Amino acid sequence: MVEKLGDEGGAPEGDGVDWNAVRLEVKLAELTRNAICRKYGITPGRLAKRISANKWDVAEDATAHDFALVLGQLFFALERQAEHLTKVDMTGSGDREVATLQRLTATLDRLIELDKHVNGRKPERRESREMKELRSRIGKRLDELEIR
């Protein structure tokens, strides 16, 4: 006999999904909903239905939150790449590193603009201290690479 466990006990009706773990991941909100779906082998639609049907105490639409997570991940990747460029021996041309950094910077700028548009924010005139520092470091490194 198959026991229907629902949200309170693991995988209902033998579907192999640990819904308690999924619910915890959704509630913790450390991963995007798409990342959670990939991790547990479920579709975003199935997760959305589960959230709605079982009235989980989470937002049904996590688009803004997921966007913020992705933006943070991209900013972290940009910082890592900038750190890497400061440590790379630039006896060669460094063209690949420069191209990667330029793409990351352009993508970050587009995502920031999209975030402002999606969330109805007016464009800010001031940049954060971290962003100013990062832009300064990138500019200095690009200047060094063009001189060599």
Question: Taking the domains of the chain in order of start, what are their residue ranges?
Answer: 6-53, 63-147
Per-residue model confidence (pLDDT) at position 7: 45
The string of pLDDT tens digits covering residues 109-148 is 887 777 777 666 665 555 677 777 887 888 777 777 765 4
The string of pLDDT tens digits covering residues 35-58 is 999 999 999 999 999 998 988 988
Classify the phi-psi angles of 89: left when phi > 0, otherwise alpha if psi is within -120 to 50, otherwise beta. Answer: beta
Give 13's Cβ-side CA count (13 Å radius).
Answer: 1
Single-letter residue type at 51: I
Interatomic CA distance for residues 94 and 23, integer angstroms: 45
Q: Which two tokens stand for residue 65?
A: 């939150």
Q: Quick check: pTM over 0.85?
A: no
* pLDDT at residue 3 greater than cutoff 50: no
